[in-house]
Amino acid sequence: MRVEIKATSDGIGYASKNAYEWEGKSYDADIQDKDRVEILNEGTIEEGKFGPQHYFKIKTRNGEKKAPFNQSSINVVAKTLGTETSEWVGKTVTVLTKKGVFAGNKGIAAYFVTEGWYLDEYGDLVENVEVEKVAPVFTPKTDTEARNEAIRNQDVSEPTF
C-alpha cells in the first residue's frame, strides 16, 4: 500500500473565534464580528473533517493565524478580487460571524467578505445593492378616461341632466 504525505501544520496557529488562554495568558478571540483582517498568502488546501478545506494566513488582533475560508467566503471574495488567489494577498476583508448549529455542533461560523456584504436577519450573506430610484412615469389620460373620471368625481347633489 502506498501512502501520501500531506502537510498537517505549517507552525501557524488557527484563528480562534472564542477567547482563549495560552501559556498562562488570556487572549481575546483572534477574529470577531466586523473585524478587518489582511490576507497574507495565496492559501493552501488541507484535508479537513468534511473534505478538502481552503486555508489562508491572515493578520489578526493576536498576530498571524491560519483561517479556513468556506465556499461562501471564496465566492464573495473572488467576485470582487478575482479568482486568482495570488491577487488577494495584501488585501483586507471583513469578518462576519454567525452563531448556530453546524454539523450537529454549536459553534460560530466566520465569513470573510469584501465591502458591501452583510448577513441578513436569516444569517444569509447578502450583497448591499443600491437600488436606483426612478421617478414614476405618468401617462396622460385618454379623452374617454378623462370624461369617465369627470363623471365619477362630479357632485352627486347636482342633477346630471
Alpha helices (H) along 19-83 = 71-81
- Are 54 and 74 in contact by the 8 Å Cβ rule? The answer is yes
Q: Phi and psi at residue 139, in whole multiples of 5°?
A: -100, 140
Query: What is the average pLDDT across 96-124?
Result: 93
Q: Angle at Cα 104 formed by Cα 99 and Cα 110, nearest 5°?
A: 30
Give the cell for residue 28. 481575546
What pLDDT is stored for residue 70 in this prediction?
Answer: 94
- Looking only at the bridges linking them, the beta strands covering 51-60 and 44-48 are antiparallel
pLDDT grade for 4, boundaries at 50, 70 and 90: low
Say which residue, 97 or 131, is predicted with more confidence. 97
pLDDT at 71 over 90: yes
First to last CA, the chain: 105
Overall pTM > 0.75: no
Distance CA 57, CA 128 (A): 27
